[in-house]
Amino acid sequence: MNDTNPSLTKKISRRDFVCTSAIAAGTAALAGPFIRSVRAGEPGPNSKIRLGLVGCGGMGMGDLATFFKNPEVDCAVVCDVDDSHLAKGLELCAKSDRPKPDTVKDFRRVLDRKDVDIVLIATPDHWHALPTVLACQAGKDVYVEKPLARTIDEGRAMLTAAQKHHRIVQMGSQWRSCQHIIEAAEFVKSGKLGKLAMVRGWAYLDWLPSIGKPADCAPPPGVDYEMWLGPAPQRPFNPNRFHFNFRWFWDYAGGLMTDWGVHLINMMLMGAGVEWPRTIVSSGGKYVLDDNSETPDSQVTTYEFPNFMLVWEHKAGLGVGLNGRPWGISWSGTEGTILLNDEGWELVVEHRKGNLEPRKAKGSGDARPAHVRNFLDCVKSRQPPVLNLELGHHVSTVAHLGNIAFRTGKKITWDAANEKIVGDHEADKLVGVKYRKPWKLPYARRA
């Protein structure tokens, strides 16, 4: 298993509700469980934290290296269905001067271990939900890569498991911990930008190539392809449906909307707030790439929130996006607009108003170390991390709704209280979970 994305290990141009009463109640209930967990051998404030890695691809290796920046972290076991990736996991542990971990191909063997405190999940999207839920049931804390899952109902099951078992779970969209983004979002929320009317996010990716149309073939030696498929539909092995390129096929992921969109929607909602969209419409298609991928290379999605509009767009084959930036977000209020990406943020004022002065702020660098540090601190303190599953589920659901609108070709209406698409049975089926036997997802509401 892996979530191989080398393009995102550089800066993102080549690469992330205030807690509800349920989370608050779960946090309040943690004082007793934390005392018991420490007595049971789980990490205390000053003890070693023992990690089990599930998924040794590009994201797994990048995340593991980041965890190793913290001296209290050791890796007890690495798990991947591909022998070549297991070898990379062992190599990284050796280079990081850590004890040699065990290797397994079945993630359940990671969860069986008493010497694993936290589970790092960096698999393809269709393998996010079940390992997270079972890890929570096994008493493990979890750091899981974005998007939270392949479907909305899977995300809800993950959130339910985290709450029910009082686990610390962080979604790995590191931009929630990026200082210059936090500062820009706070500026928007302060009201100084005026009434927020429009929020935009975009990713124009000239580096995204055609993946061609290779024929089906046998899996590579050393790969447990049946385990890689897991709950996904049975398909012949195809090189394009494996490792990095899995993200362009609906069986496993949601294309650029959930690959890049989740990161940027996360940023947009940091300033715009925690509302749910009322309606969503999306259009696009494959206008650039001639290959066997399924997800759109060009897509524009419009969300009607109660108090503002949010627009997401992506396009392959072009590197000059809106406002001269290949990717970014903007918050537009009645007093001005903030433009933001990894290089920093800029305030462009409405000069006729004269209430603000233009300003610029530089980027604050790689946010992954801070995001991982926040998670580790919360594992010890039992406080909710900055991108806990309530927030992770919210952000990921917004992205998934864009894909549902695109796939159905309809304007959809979202009932957030019941997590249901109103008046459209076919669209609503895409909210749910359908696993291939014998796999089953605990806590799934519409399995």
What's the burial of 52, exposed, middle or buried (CB within 10 Å: 0-12/13-18/19+)? buried
How do the pLDDT tens digits run along the chain, 447 residues long? 544 443 333 333 333 333 333 333 333 333 333 323 332 445 655 589 999 999 999 999 999 999 999 999 999 999 999 999 999 999 999 999 999 999 999 999 999 999 999 999 999 999 999 999 999 999 999 999 999 999 999 999 999 999 999 999 999 999 999 999 999 999 999 999 999 999 999 999 999 889 999 999 999 999 999 999 999 999 999 999 999 999 999 999 999 999 999 999 999 999 998 899 999 999 999 999 999 999 999 999 999 999 999 999 999 998 888 989 999 999 999 999 999 999 999 999 987 666 788 899 999 999 999 999 999 999 999 999 999 999 999 999 999 999 999 999 999 999 999 999 999 999 999 999 899 999 999 999 886
Q: In this predicted structure, what is the pLDDT of residue 11?
A: 38
Distance separating alpha carbons of residues 371 and 170, to the nearest angstrom:
9
Q: Where are the alpha helices (DSSP H) in 300-388?
A: 368-381
Distance separating alpha carbons of residues 227 and 231, to the nearest angstrom:
9
What's the burial of 155, exposed, middle or buried (CB within 10 Å: 0-12/13-18/19+)? buried
Distance separating alpha carbons of residues 364 and 295, to the nearest angstrom:
32
Residues constituting the chain: 447
Fold designation for 179-365+398-429: Dihydrodipicolinate Reductase; domain 2 (3.30.360)
Q: Which helix (H) or strand (E) holds 143?
A: strand 141-144
Q: In this predicted structure, what is the pLDDT of residue 1?
A: 57
Q: Are strands 118-121 and 141-144 parallel, antiparallel or unpaired?
A: parallel
In degrees and rounded to multiples of 5, residue 171 shows phi and psi of: -90, 135
CA 114 to chain centre: 27
Which of 120, 179, 147, 171 lies closest to 387, judged by CA?
171
In the CATH hierarchy, which top-level class contains the domain 6-176+369-389? Answer: alpha beta
Q: Could you tell me if 19 and 388 are in contact, meaning their C-beta atoms sit under 8 angstroms apart?
A: yes
Q: Could you tell me if 399 and 202 are in contact, meaning their C-beta atoms sit under 8 angstroms apart?
A: no
- Tokens coding 123: 């698999």
Q: Domain ranges in the chain?
A: 6-176+369-389, 179-365+398-429
Which of 162, 186, 184, 172 lies closest to 386, judged by CA?
172
Q: Could you tell me if 434 and 251 are in contact, meaning their C-beta atoms sit under 8 angstroms apart?
A: no
Cβ-based neighbours of 440, under 8 Å, separated by 6 or more: 447
Q: In this predicted structure, what is the pLDDT of residue 312?
A: 98
pTM score of the predicted model:
0.90
Cβ-based neighbours of 389, under 8 Å, separated by 6 or more: 148, 155, 158, 159, 162, 163, 169, 171
